[in-house]
Amino acid sequence: MRKLMNEFLLVFLIVLCFHGANAQNKTISGVVSDEKGRPVLGATVKVKGGTSGSITDENGMFRLSVKPGDTVVFTSVGYKSTEAAAADNLQVQMQTLTQELTEVVVTSLGVKKQKRSLGYAVGGLKNEDINKDKVVNLGSALSGRVAGVNVTTPATGVGGSTRVVIRGNTSASGNNQPLYVIDGIPVDNSGFKSPGSSTDMGDGMSSLNPDDIATMSVMKGSSASALYGYRGSNGVILITTKKGTASKGLGVEFSSGVSLDMVQNDLEWQYQYGQGSRGQKFTDLATLRGDYVLAWGPKFDGLPTLSIDGEMHDYVARPNQIQKFYQTGFTNSNTIAFSGGSEKANFRFSIGNVYNDGITPENTYKRNNYALSLSAKPNDKISIEASGQYIREDGNNRPLIGGGFGNVNKAMNFLSNSIDILWMSDPVVDENGNEYPYTQGWGGINNPYFVTQYFKNFDSKNRFILSAATTYNISEDFYAKVKIGEDYTGFDATRIEPTGAVDGPNGRFDNLINTRSEYNLEGILGYKKTFGDFDVNAFVGANRQHNYYKETSSGGSNFIIPYQYFYANTKDNQKTTIFESNTEVNSVYFSGDVGYKNFLFLSLTGRNDWFSTLSTSNNHIFYPSVSSSFVVSEVVKLPEFWSYSKLRAAIGNVGGAAPEPYALSLTYRPIGDGFNGLPITEVEQGTIPNPALKPYNVQTIEFGTENTFFNNRLNLDFTWYSKTTTNDIANASLSTTSGYANTKINVGEISNKGIELQIGGIPIKKENFKWDVNYNLSYNISKVVKVSDELNSQILTNLGGVGGIYLEEGQPFGIIKAYEPLKDAKGNLVLTNDGYMQKGELVHAGDGVAPYRMGLTNDFTYKNWRLSTLIDAQLGGDIFSDTNFLSVRYGLQAMTLQGREGGINVSGVDNAGNPINKNISAFDYWRSSFKDANSNVFVYSSDFVKLRSVSLEYKFDKEKLSKFGIEGLSLALVAHNLWVIYKDTPNIDPESNSNSGNAQGYEQSTLPRTKSVGINLNIKF
């Protein structure tokens, strides 16, 4: 018994000691921040003299197992090492050493990382940069500010689309624009179709409110975007919206901007000869109105002459009609935001609106934005984030672009040089309500006043962007995260061509309704831990993406009851089509980052996508990447002036342009009313489905370096990259005996190689004065390696029969081809018997995509004043100008002055080689001989240098404002497109591309250039 008692006591003492030993250990938590209270991501937290360690998360939070009396050591690159006694709810503040070492950027899937650890180039903008110029379309904010990013804004008015291309065009079949991700949720940025005409209805980015954006990160290469798999081929732009913060009371912030858009006239026509034909004035009204655009009359003599309104007016030049018709545009944008909360929970709610009166009469655009952000951290284990946006857009009478019916820009560009546009303003309609026949519909041109008052187009969009995420800290090392999000848009657009137009008098009605939505569900399991000198951060995840699209289009012509505009009132060419699709992509992925002593980093990622639109036998693709960075300055002793140096390298594969729904099998459509009550169908498409079709592949290799000098007064970032697209989707021609025209195959190849350079510095830094300057340069040379097995050339768009934008093997992406005159082997012009030139070969006349882009920003701060400027440039590209081409035909171009007196002598040979020498009138030479056979002459250099923006801001003294309960107040004068420093395109703006698609380098009757001035107010309570 005694022995049993002794054994019992021994066991009891052992258990007691074990329990006591465990009672010595406990888990503490805390937050690590910098001097400004911002969380420090990735700080190493270790017990001094022990092995236990942890890493802070994106909120600066950590959890660590300690014993009583332990000392905790906090280290992070760029901060002074800090020690603190172990205690729960530790609040540790670390002192910054250098700015570039602590910079944190948002990367794929919303993961925040220290920039020094990245093995690939990342660009970006902060809210201050985005809203410095108060842009309406968020995509425009990137223009000239990020190396490697090419921003093109078609001249289509406020609320229109913006084309953003990163490191060159990737594909002939894709749209070549990046994926946009808002708060971790992919969103749709595709453009909206216009019913029955070429009208820019905007894109996904045109609906966002820049005042709600905190940061934009540009993920350029395949390694940066590999975790987005098949959607990462064109890069990714990660957008982080503003969140609430802990504060005392309710925070209120209000911003407002007003600007005026003033029309600039780039037209420099000849003003020596006026309206008429073959050197003679028009003497009867019908002929005059039929050929009213012609400026082939005699020299101006100032005598009363019959004109377009049927009245006698002095025969004199009347320039600058552009300013008479177009109006000064007006834009007003406002945002009010409320925020507040505590460390446990906070919120931000904002309301924004934009109203614009366009430069075209009767054109308006409205946008209302509502955004809500919620964050909660009830304990150390759980954090919750949720956000939602509702956007309503309304466009009214958006301007038509291109050469179509009802384009007022075409009417104004080619208004004969002796006509005053005000003569056409009254009357606009005749006694029957029909268009007054000033023009008789010549060339599809209508009276611009009739178009703006009676042609109608209107559209509306309702968009919801919703997301929610929950993170659960399973332990010190493991965490789990679930995220769900949806982007939904409902779009409804109508276009009406009215009864009584001189061109198309019976009218037409078109309507387009579409619904698009994307739903994503994502789950991630992550792990992060410190093992001595090694930091490990890894996660695995899965995502389900579901897309739904439905489109209903209807249209008809010839209104049964005139002036009553609805679909059921049309009797000819009635057609209604409905398209509906559901697609899914399921994905799994992983990411693993290892850091050694905070100077050597390695990152591996992989993603596998399964597609519902691919054949089940070939429906998944794997996309890997590897990147590494080496902070040289942590290992090698550099000269004292050299503050920081880093090398980086990366290689990755991504995909793009997944096959459209139902592209792998035949689809059918009904024919007529059927037979005996049974439906009869026919094959709908002329393309044979290819079940082996898959997304194309893009591989990017890049090397780069980041450096700072003179204690951060000078910085340099350089990147070289090579991007290759393989298996691009191309059309393969088939024999017509097959019943089909072609099939789609994976065969195309495109190469992009280039460099990116960013240099910034602070040349002057005094107590009251500071000068910041940043310069970026990008050069991208593209090459179409292969079009298809059968073709070495593919047309992207036709230039009205006188050329086109092409993909051609061995040439840059999107070359401009146009005609040069036919010549014989000796170089003689081959003329017709009348002495007219003939079309020769289509030649490579220019490159539609400029290889060089540059931007230069300057910020001068003096006490409470700040002056900011942006100059950007484009070099090496070309543009075909339809405006200049047609102006030769109409006698407006200055070159048509040659031969007006005495004709033009031409010499050459006929088709048989016999010599021809003739004198041709200027009218025949320029209209019938020169223009079509020399279309290459109308390809101009699209080079430009522009003073893009200027802002002068004054920030009022905070101490004085605090007496009134105001935390901050600033007032700024802003201006856009103030000065075209250099251009080489006569009569047009070199940026006046007619679309935001792949066929760049084509101008056709777009809106005139504008410069804007305005004032911005920001106030915070």
Backbone torsions φ then ψ of 179, nearest 5 degrees:
-80, 135
DSSP class per residue in 296-363: -S-B----EEE-TTSSEEE------HHHHHS--EEEEEEEEEEEEE-SSEEEEEEEEEEEEE-SSTT-
130 against 180, higher pLDDT: 180
Kind plus residue range of the DSSP H or E element containing 631: strand 620-631
What is the mean predicted confidence (pLDDT) over 513-530?
Answer: 95
pLDDT digits (tens, 9 = 90+) for 306-339: 999 999 999 999 999 999 999 999 999 999 999 9
Phi, psi of 2 (to 5 degrees): -60, -40
- What would the DSSP string read from start to end of 1003-1016? E-S-PPPEEEEEEE
Total Cβ atoms within 10 A of residue 335: 22
| Cβ pair 726, 697 in contact under 8 A | yes
What number of residues does the chain have?
1021
- Say which range, 369-383, 504-518, 957-971, has the weakest mean pLDDT: 957-971
- Can you give the pLDDT at residue 5? 40
In this structure, of 191-195, 542-546, 604-608, 733-737, the range with the lowest mean pLDDT score is 733-737
State mean pLDDT over 675-683: 72
Residues 6+ apart with CB under 8 A from 392: 366, 367, 368, 460, 461, 462, 463
What's the pLDDT at 98?
A: 55
Q: Is the dihedral of CA 908, 909, 910, 915 positive or negative?
A: positive
Per residue in 835-870, pLDDT (tens digit) is 999 999 999 999 999 999 999 999 999 999 999 999
What pLDDT is attached to residue 442? Answer: 66
**Across 720-731, average pLDDT:** 90
Residue 67 has a pLDDT of: 87
Report which of residues 172 and 582 the model is more confident about: 582
3-class secondary structure, 17: helix
- Looking at residue 929, the DSSP 8-state letter turns out to be I
Strand, helix or coil for residue 922: helix
Maximum pairwise Cα distance, the chain? 139
Tell me the pTM.
0.86
Distance (Å, whole) CA 578 – CA 226: 35
Over residues 891-904, mean pLDDT: 95
- For 710-741, strand residue ranges (E) read 714-733
Mean per-residue pLDDT of the chain: 89
pLDDT of 6: 46
Instruction: Report phi then psi at 451, rounded to 5.
Output: -60, -45
pLDDT of residue 965: 85
Least confident of 345-349, 585-589, 658-662: 658-662
Cα distances (angstroms) measured from residue 866 to each of 36, 127, 366: 22, 16, 31
- The least confident of 413-422, 669-678, 700-709, 953-962 is 669-678
Report pLDDT digits (tens) over 61-85. 888 888 888 889 988 766 777 889 8
Tell me the pLDDT band of 931, cut-offs 50, 70 and 90: confident
pLDDT band at 254 (very low <50, low <70, confident <90, very high): very high
- Percent of the chain having pLDDT more than 90? 65
Of 76, 89, 169, the C-alpha closest to 696 is 169
pLDDT at 169 over 70: yes
User: What is the number of helices (H) and of strands (E) in the chain?
Assistant: 12, 52
C-alpha distances (whole Å) from 157 to each of 104, 352, 369, 689, 793 are 36, 20, 20, 39, 33
pLDDT exceeds cutoff 70 at 391? yes
* Structure token pair of residue 943: 């080079």
- Residues forming a β-bridge with 231: none
Using CB atoms within 10 Å of the CB of residue 411, give its burial: 0 to 12 exposed, 13 to 18 middle, 19+ buried. buried
Pairing of strands 904-909, 915-920: antiparallel
| Dist CA 603 CA 895 (whole Å) | 61
Token code pair at residue 258: 């007003």
Distance CA(436)–CA(422), nearest Å, equals 14
Rounded mean pLDDT of 744-753? 89
pLDDT higher at 25 or 218: 218
Q: What's the pLDDT score for residue 97?
A: 63
Q: What phi, psi does 926 have (nearest 5°)?
A: -75, -35
| Backbone angles phi and psi of 880, in degrees to 5 | -90, 125
Residue 567 has pLDDT above 70, yes or no: yes
Q: How far is CA 391 from CA 139, 190, 349, 354, 370, in A?
A: 17, 16, 14, 11, 6
Tokens 């992207």 belong to residue: 796
In whole angstroms, give the CA distance from residue 824 to residue 27.
90
Percent of the chain with pLDDT over 70: 94
In b/e form, how buried is each residue of 897-921, taking b as 16+ CB within 10 angstroms?
eebbeebbebebbeeeeeebebebb
